[in-house]
Amino acid sequence: MQTKKGQNIEDESMQMIDSEVGPHSYNRLEWPIVRRMIHATADFDFAGKNKIVFHKDAISSGISALKNGCSIICDVNGLVGFLNKQNMKDFGKKVICNISNPSVVETAKKEGKTRAEVSMRLVASEMNGGIVAIGSAPTALYEVIKMVDEGITKPALIIGIPVGFIAAAESKNELQTTSVPFITNTGRKGGSSCAASTVNALFKLLRENS
Which residues are identified as catalytic?
Answer: 39
- Reference 172, options 181, 159, 157, 153; nearest CA is 159
Which amino acid is residue 6, in one-letter code?
G
DSSP for residue 157: E
* Other C-beta atoms lying within 10 Å of the C-beta of residue 147: 18
> Does residue 184 contact residue 172 with C-beta atoms inside 8 Å?
yes
Cα distance between residue 163 and residue 141, in whole Å: 11
CB 22 within 8 A of CB 31: no
Choose among 29, 26, 34: nearest CA to 197.
34
Q: DSSP 3-state helix, strand, coil percentages of the chain (rounded to 5)? A: 55, 10, 35
Identify which of 172, 120, 171, 173 has the alpha carbon closest to the alpha carbon of residue 150: 120
113 CB neighbour count, 10 Å cutoff: 16
